[in-house]
Amino acid sequence: MTRILYLLWIAFVFYSCKNDNQERAPISYSTTEISNEISTAQQIANAHGFERWKDINEIKFRFNVHRNENTSGRSWLWKPKTEDVSFIADTDTIHYNRKAMDSIALQTDRKFINDKFWLLIPFQLVWDEGATISDPKKEMAPISKVELNTITLTYSNEGGYTPGDAYDLFYDDNFIIKEWIFRKGNANEPSMITTFENHQDYNGIKIALDHKKEEGDFNLFFSNVEIK
């Protein structure tokens, strides 16, 4: 029974915290044109290296979840300019293009969108159309108990793999994300709260490699990251 509950929990993590408002149509990943007054979302994206995005041709990463003594993961190769995606498993590799997906590709793409969302949430703030972003304010961060800036990202109830979800993002005065609260279906109560830590620089793109819960028995982390 414990094993079954753990597998169900892993499935929840892998298929939660993901949203792509273009479920069947690929997103344009070009750099957003910046107006004279830079939005909070754009400042957060820029602080994480968004202005370098136009030079990126390929991203490799492994998405992992560690809870107690168990670790599960999956690996990806993504070419954002062509929208070619490769899902690399232990025994097989699935290749597809997000501009032309069949039913099998859609199943794999759900996982990819989830994992990419965790990896590049600062950029999703400016990529994702149809989402709303609240005005910034100061609040106590839920894990560190430090006062940080916060905005709420809310997705519409239509489109995407998990419509209606909301994310409360906590960031410092340098616009670096430090924590977030995921609220499934924009519920009042948190579905998951994690840190954003161990930021590393990959060709100018800043990635938070570790996402830990306050309890200390959980880490969603990235490994084998390469950005070219």
Identify the pLDDT of residue 89: 84
Identify the pLDDT of residue 144: 98
Task: Give dist(CA 166, CA 175) in Å, integer.
Answer: 19
Identify the pLDDT of residue 157: 85
- Locus of tokens 């948190």: 190
For 37-82, the three-class secondary structure string (H helix, E strand, C coil) is CCCHHHHHHHHCCHHHHHHCCCEEEEEEEEECCEEEEEEEEEECCC
| Structural domains in the chain, sorted by start | 38-227 (2.50.20)
pLDDT digits (tens, 9 = 90+) for 13-61: 544 555 444 443 344 454 444 344 789 999 999 999 999 999 999 999 9
Q: Are 158 and 194 in contact (CB under 8 A)?
A: no
Identify the pLDDT of residue 216: 86
Long-range contacts, stretch 125-128, CB < 8 angstroms, 24+ apart = 125/41, 125/42, 125/44, 125/45, 125/153, 126/32, 126/41, 126/42, 126/45, 126/50, 127/27, 127/28, 127/29, 127/32, 128/19, 128/20, 128/21, 128/27, 128/155
Identify the pLDDT of residue 166: 97
**DSSP code, position 173:** T
The three-class DSSP label of residue 181 is: strand
pLDDT digits (tens, 9 = 90+) for 170-227: 999 999 999 999 999 999 999 999 999 999 999 999 999 999 999 888 999 999 999 9
Identify the pLDDT of residue 51: 97
Identify the pLDDT of residue 69: 84
Q: Are 53 and 207 in contact (CB under 8 A)?
A: no
Task: Give dist(CA 95, CA 161) in Å, integer.
Answer: 20
- Which among 145, 151, 142 is positioned nearest to 171, based on CA atoms? 151
pLDDT digits (tens, 9 = 90+) for 150-167: 999 999 887 677 789 999
